[in-house]
Structure 1
Amino acid sequence: MEKLQRSVYTLLFFFISFAGLYFAASFLIPVTLAAVFSMLFIRLSSWFESKKISRPVSSLLCTLIFLCAIGLIVFLLSWQLQGLAENMETMKQRLTTTFSNFQQWLQEQIGINKTTQKEIVKSQSEGSGGIMTGFANSIFGILVNAVLVIVYMFLFLCYRSHIKKFILKIVPGDEKTKADNVVHKAGKVAQQYLSGLGAMIGVLWIMYGIGFSVVGVESAIFFAILCGILEIIPFVGNLTGTAITILAVLAQGGDSKMIIGVIIVYGLVQFIQTYILEPLIVGEQVNINPLFTIMVIVLGETLWGVAGMILAIPLLGMVKIVCDHVPDLQPYGFLIGTAHQRSKKTGLIDKIKRTFKHHD
């Protein structure tokens, strides 16, 4: 009976927690994004402080570096968009021709005449005013959240020691050392994962840029940057970026050879990313098995949308660290983690290292 009550309480706890995360999303998303991003700059902020720079100033410098990185990406995308805008009229004509051919195909193969098609399109476009209003509200909301993330990030960096002391004060005296170790490891996991992901995205920009340029994609750098940035959304991002690139190639009048070239570039980049970049750059800092990786991404999207998909893996990695160090939660940490031990390296990089060791 006691075990049944405990199970019921556990399920109730999860239900209330997920409900709270869902209904408080507008408040929690910018706070969580800022907390995770601030973990990425803790080491840099500490380095500034070692150079006799005060913590508020070092926190401000880290925030400015973050803003400069975002600004550089926006500048590169805008610069490439200018090239796309110059060819927009030609692309519009090609899309119009493609749409007309598609209408003709619908009429011949399915039997939907062009008059019926126009009525369907008209009925769907009647709510365009509401769509534009919703789009404007979404842009405004994104800008407000972006400002909040920057402010929160600065404050998290500035008051990180105060927050850590608060966490240590709420745990029993004999558990303070363990709690300090958990906080340190959780922050290190997020830091290593995000820094590795950032480095990998930089390498992907170069590979996609070279590949798309060789294939002949117009504004290849724009689509390379887009595909690289979308990698922050696991599983979904790379497919979305490639699909957008293929659609752009069609709009640019590219033939089947160019489309096949884009697909080949995508396949090669994914192979290099999976078997070389991820083991070498990102590594196994998070150490979560694929089942829970997919589940937490789906859950993150359900609760917080795209932001939830981005935050899902680093947050679950921190949850696993906590579970591994709390005896009652260790079974859950085992369930989330991979089946093999961390010391058993089976990646391509490790096989190459072992090969060279054998030759030595």
Structure 2
Amino acid sequence: MFNSTPTLSRSVLVIIFIFLVVSGLYFARQFLIPIAISALLTMLLIPLSNYFERKGINRILASFICLLFIVSLFGGIIYLISWQAADISDNLNEIGLRIQKIILEIQKFLAHTIGISHESQKIWFDKQTSNGSNEAIFLASSILSYLMGILMKSILVIVYLFLFLTSRSHLKKFILMLVPKTEVQETERMISDAGKVSQHYLLGLGIMIIMLWFMYGFAFSIIGVESAIFFAILCGLLEIVPFIGNITGTSLTILMVISQGGSNTMVLGVFVTYMIIQFLQTYILEPLIVGSEVNINPLFTILVLVFMEIIWGIPGMIMAIPMLGIIKIICDHVTPLKPYAFLIGKTKTKNSSSLSKRIWIKLKSIRAK
């Protein structure tokens, strides 16, 4: 007869450990999110920093140049979005009148079809308006507080990013000191593989977003969507949130087309554009560009997205896939954890080398020359 007491005790300890880890991730999210974002960006910028250092530039200066590069990149994207959004703000009055017209048509539909009288609708609308006016100051202060929070976290990310780049050798030596001497070589390989996964995934995602900008921009311009470039940029950027981002971007585009007085044909055109581009993205762009760099089972991709959204919100959803890819790399190199790597991974196919990986290999060959 089997003695189940040790197994039960071990299971209880594992459950307690998981509970403590999840609780720590949730309650320390304000502290951990900027660190996690800066760590992923550091992995992306390490090859660029190494390139400058091989040219004889001091590490601190090389890290500062990398920092300027990433800040200029995000600043340029923000400027491009605000520049395109200015075109929409010029037409806000016209859009507001169209929205009022749509509301009147909905009220007529409710009155004639469902039987809700105009008086009942007006009473409900006035009640909601009065409640909204009482909460307007609170809403404005909440938005201001949220924006200030984003600004402070952005500054923290920049500071952490610079410090990680300048002290990455020190941190690597610390990790190697924690493992036995017999495992140092395997640990170095694990650190290298984890960095490559993040680099390839983030580079591939960036390339795919740029291609989506061109495809959405071209399609929306043909359809006749007002501010087509703005919505193309929006739909492309929202791809950083897997599964949900593309649906959100297309839904916002359709709503804006309706509010701008677009025809049913235009709305249908936006929807068809979304379906065609999603087909191209899923079966052509992602296998070609991103490939299998983050080799995660689709089931666990969904699970980790839901989990990270619960504990870290939207930033968690953005970082979920590369972080899970890093966890899989760690499990691949630690023998007791290999079954978990197999569980969350998927079978690799032949010739699955992605465009982003080939770009990194080409850059390395150029630097070697």
Q: TM-score range by the shorter chain?
A: over 0.9
- Give the corresponding residue for 2:125: 118
How far does the alpha carbon of each residue in 1:37-82 deviate from its partner, in whole angstroms, 9 at most, with x for none? 1111111111011110111111111111111111111111111112
- Give the corresponding residue for 1:245: 253
- Give the corresponding residue for 2:174: 166
**Aligned partner of 1:332 among 313, 323, 340:** 340
Residues 276 and 348, structure 1, Cα contact 8 Å, conserved in 2: no
Q: Tell me how far apart the structure 2 counterparts of residues 264 and 346 of structure 1 sit (CA, whole Å).
A: 29
Q: Please give the TM-score of this superposition, normalised by the length of structure 1.
A: 0.93
Deviation at 1:249, TM superposition (A): 0.4
Residues 275 and 347, structure 1, Cα contact 8 Å, conserved in 2: no
Q: Secondary structure at the match of 1:73?
A: helix
How far does the alpha carbon of each residue in 1:202-234 deviate from its partner, in whole angstroms, 9 at most, with x for none? 110010000100100011000000000000000
Q: Does 1:77 align with 2:85?
A: no
Q: Tell me how far apart the structure 1 counterparts of residues 152 and 203 of structure 2 sit (CA, whole Å).
A: 26
Q: Tell me how far apart the structure 1 counterparts of residues 43 and 66 of structure 2 sit (CA, whole Å).
A: 11
Q: Secondary structure at the match of 1:285?
A: coil
Deviation at 1:131, TM superposition (A): 1.9
Q: Tell me how far apart the structure 2 counterparts of residues 28 and 263 of structure 1 sit (CA, whole Å).
A: 38
- Give the corresponding residue for 1:62: 66
- Give the corresponding residue for 1:103: 107
Q: Tell me how far apart the structure 2 counterparts of residues 133 and 271 of structure 1 sit (CA, whole Å).
A: 42
Deviation at 1:124, TM superposition (A): 4.2
Residues 77 and 222, structure 1, Cα contact 8 Å, conserved in 2: yes
Q: Tell me how far apart the structure 1 counterparts of residues 189 and 207 of structure 2 sit (CA, whole Å).
A: 27
Q: Tell me how far apart the structure 1 counterparts of residues 42 and 354 of structure 2 sit (CA, whole Å).
A: 32
How far does the alpha carbon of each residue in 1:175-224 deviate from its partner, in whole angstroms, 9 at most, with x for none? 11111111110111011100100011011001000010010001100000
- Give the corresponding residue for 1:229: 237
How far does the alpha carbon of each residue in 1:242-297 deviate from its partner, in whole angstroms, 9 at most, with x for none? 00000110111100000011011111111111111111110101100100000000
**Aligned partner of 1:33 among 33, 37, 60:** 37
- Give the corresponding residue for 1:355: none
Tell me which amino acid in the other structure corresponds to 1:335: L
Q: Tell me how far apart the structure 1 counterparts of residues 351 and 265 of structure 2 sit (CA, whole Å).
A: 39
Q: Please give the TM-score of this superposition, normalised by the length of structure 2.
A: 0.91
Q: Secondary structure at the match of 1:287?
A: coil
The gaps in structure 1 that reach 5 residues or longer are: 350-360
Tell me which amino acid in the other structure corresponds to 1:94: R
The gaps in structure 2 that reach 5 residues or longer are: 356-369
Map 1:1-360 to 2 at 5 A: 1-110=5-114, 111=116, 113-122=120-129, 124-125=131-132, 126-338=134-346, 340=347, 342-344=348-350
Aligned length: 347
- Give the corresponding residue for 1:354: none
Deviation at 1:348, TM superposition (A): 12
Q: Secondary structure at the match of 2:261?
A: coil
Residues 275 and 348, structure 1, Cα contact 8 Å, conserved in 2: no
Percent sequence identity over matched residues?
48
How far does the alpha carbon of each residue in 1:114-147 deviate from its partner, in whole angstroms, 9 at most, with x for none? 2332244136413232222211111110000011
**Mean Cα deviation higher: 13-22 or 90-99:** 90-99
How far does the alpha carbon of each residue in 1:68-116 deviate from its partner, in whole angstroms, 9 at most, with x for none? 1111111111111121122221111101111122223233334252233
Tell me which amino acid in the other structure corresponds to 2:140: M
